[in-house]
Amino acid sequence: MTRRNVGVFEQEAPEGTLPVATVNSWVTPLTIPGGEVDMWAISAVTVSGTHRRRGIARNLLEGELRAAADAGIPLAGLTVSEATIYERYGFASAIPAAKVSIDAPRAGWNGPATDGRIEYIERESLQSDLSALHEEARTQRAGQIAGWDARWERIAGLSVGHTAPRAVRGVRYVDADGAVRGAMAYSLKEVSGSFRADMEIHHLASTTTDALAALWRFALQHDLVSKVVVDLRPVDDPITWLVTDQRGVELTPHDHGWLRILDVPAVLTARSYRAPLDLVLRVDDALGFAEGLWRLTTDADGAAAVVRLDGDVEADVELAVGALSAIYAGGVSAVRLRAAGRLRASAETAAALDDAFRTSDAPLLGIWY
């Protein structure tokens, strides 16, 4: 995976001086309803505390968007540590995730029996399994991107400088035919004075419902575990229906994957739709990339056509590029955006957008980047 690294240095800085700001980017496939689209992934956005409020971050981010557009990449994305920065550049929270915290003894287990088996694995096998499973599973839900070796090395406790590599444990689920269908990286932290432990799941990957159920069961029925916690789960994870007492499960949605549309026709025609539409969209974009009046037509087979319109045409929907980016992957409701004043349309039109854009499974971005 080729990455573009940009560093900002003080003028006439001596050789070996650290940069005062950085950004890192690469092109990755983003899974969308009906297929994939190329996305300009942006990461490692940093500005030294000594150089803030000088416009450095703005120049870096706007430069990344221009570079993406010049390269013909129709969409940009990022995950963020600070959620109040990126809306000004046209990004929007589009792929929510959920943090799950489970009181294991209270929740109990009420899930199905499975035909496969759970087995412990060494960290090297854990890395390999997580990588292979992610590559298969990422095509099953909108919102996922391709992984990379360093990501799985870190999750498996194999990366240089890992703070507690020996604490990382791994298990995998093997189905009745001998195929690996799921894997989980986790660690146990002793609860002081209780002879019990909390389990932190670092990553849970599965390609079948049986594998998911079996891995959840392993976690909840693990000996002497009081609490199970994991982040970056889909907001429709079935865990609340796999336990005896749903009140033992706390599922907290939060923003995770942010998207920014650069080329409206390219992104809207790349995905499929669940219902027919024929609407005129007026998109506002302060940076100009997605600005315009667009007619979006989708047919009964889910295919779309997008045409730019000129002249004085009345729009059915008026929205900023951030709102269009938010609903793009199917994880954010146009009806909710209308209620929040982020989208101007009739109630019926907003509902029609939801019918067309929604996905059968909630979008998911299961990793940070």
pLDDT for the residue numbered 187: 98
Closest listed residue to residue 77, CA positions, set 334, 259, 299: 259
| Band of pLDDT at residue 2, cut at 50, 70 and 90 | confident
User: Tens digit of pLDDT for each residue in 25-43?
Assistant: 999 999 999 999 999 999 9
Residues 153 and 230 both lie in one domain: yes
Q: How many residues appear in the chain?
A: 369
- 79 belongs to a structural domain: no
Residue with tokens 């809207």: 268
Cβ contacts of residue 125 below 8 Å, gap of 6+? 170, 172
As a whole number, the mean pLDDT across the chain is 97
Q: For residue 112, what are the β-bridge partners?
A: none
User: Tens digit of pLDDT for each residue in 150-191?
Assistant: 999 999 999 998 999 999 999 999 999 999 999 999 999 999
Closest listed residue to residue 281, CA positions, set 329, 330, 343, 333: 343
Q: What CATH number is associated with residue 333?
A: 3.30.1050.10
Dihedral of alpha carbons 207, 208, 213, 215, sign:
negative
Q: Residues 137, 144: contact at Cβ < 8 Å?
A: yes
- 310 belongs to a structural domain: yes
- 81 belongs to a structural domain: no
Overall domain count for the chain: 3
What's the pTM? 0.96
Q: What percent of the chain has pLDDT over 90?
A: 96
Calpha distance 185→194 (Å, rounded): 24
- 368 belongs to a structural domain: no
Residues 107 and 62 both lie in one domain: no
Range of the domain at 347: 264-357
Residues 128 and 13 both lie in one domain: no
pLDDT for the residue numbered 26: 98
Max Cα-Cα span within the chain: 73
Residues 161 and 213 both lie in one domain: yes
Q: What percent of the chain has pLDDT over 70?
A: 100
Res 129 pLDDT > 90: yes
Burial class of residue 173 (count of CB atoms within 10 Å of its CB; 0-12, 13-18, 19+): buried
pLDDT for the residue numbered 185: 98
Calpha distance 106→227 (Å, rounded): 10
Q: What CATH number is associated with residue 55?
A: 3.40.630.30
Residue with tokens 């000129």: 310
**Count of alpha carbons within 13 angstroms of residue 322, beta-carbon side:** 15
Cβ contacts of residue 142 below 8 Å, gap of 6+? 31, 32, 33, 95, 271, 329, 330, 331, 359, 361, 363, 364
Residues 219 and 342 both lie in one domain: no
Residues 106 and 184 both lie in one domain: yes
User: Tens digit of pLDDT for each residue in 189-246?
Assistant: 999 988 999 999 999 999 999 999 999 999 999 999 999 999 999 999 999 999 999 9
Q: For residue 7, what are the β-bridge partners?
A: 22
User: Tens digit of pLDDT for each residue in 258-279?
Assistant: 999 999 999 999 999 999 999 9
Residues 164 and 220 both lie in one domain: yes
Residue 209 CA to chain centroid, in angstroms?
20
Domain ends where: 238, 255, 272? 255
Burial 275-311 (b: 16+ CB within 10 A, else e): eebebbbbbebebebbebbbbbbbeeeeebebeeeee
Residues 123 and 190 both lie in one domain: yes
pLDDT for the residue numbered 125: 98
User: How many CB atoms are located within 10 Å of the residue 223 CB?
Assistant: 6
Identify the three-state secondary structure at position 131: helix
For 44-107, give the DSSP string: EEEE-GGGTTSSHHHHHHHHHHHHHHHTT--EEEEE-S-TTSGGGGT-EEEEEEEEEEEEHHHH
Beta strands in the chain (DSSP E): 4-8, 21-32, 35-47, 75-79, 92-103, 117-121, 169-174, 180-191, 196-206, 225-233, 249-261, 277-284, 292-298, 304-309, 317-320, 343-344
User: Tens digit of pLDDT for each residue in 87-101?
Assistant: 999 999 999 999 999
Task: Compute the chain's Rg from CA coordinates.
Answer: 22
- For the segment 13-32, the average pLDDT, to the nearest whole number, is 96
Cβ contacts of residue 314 below 8 Å, gap of 6+? 280
Q: Residues 255, 83: contact at Cβ < 8 Å?
A: yes
| Band of pLDDT at residue 311, cut at 50, 70 and 90 | confident
Phi then psi dihedrals of residue 320, to 5 deg: -80, 165
Res 1 pLDDT > 70: no
User: Tens digit of pLDDT for each residue in 130-150?
Assistant: 999 999 999 999 999 999 999
Residues 239 and 270 both lie in one domain: no
